[in-house]
Structure 1
Amino acid sequence: MLTLPNILTLSRILAVPLLAFFLWWPDWRLGYAIGFVLYSLIGITDYLDGYLARAQGTVSKLGQFLDPIADKIMVASVILVLTAQGFLRGPYVGDLHVIAGLIILIREIAVSGLREFLGPLKVSVPVSKLAKWKTTFQLLSLGALILGGAVHGVPCHSVAADCGTLADQWIHLVGLASLWGAAVLTVITGWDYLRVGLKHMD
Structure 2
Amino acid sequence: MRGTSVAVIHPPGADCNVLVDQLRRIGCNVKSLWPCPPSPPATIDVVFVFVAAERGSEHLWSGVDCEAVVIALVDYENPTVLKGILDLNAQAVINKPFRPTGVLSTLILARASKGYQDRLLLKVTKLEEALRSRREIERAVKLLAERQGLTDIQAYEQIRRQASNKRISVVEVCAAVNSAGSVLDGLWPLDR
TM-score normalised per structure 1: 0.28
- The structure with higher relative contact order (CA 8 Å, sep 6+) is 1
Q: Hey, which of these two has a bigger chunk of strand by percent? A: 2
Q: Hey, which of these two has a bigger chunk of helix by percent? A: 1
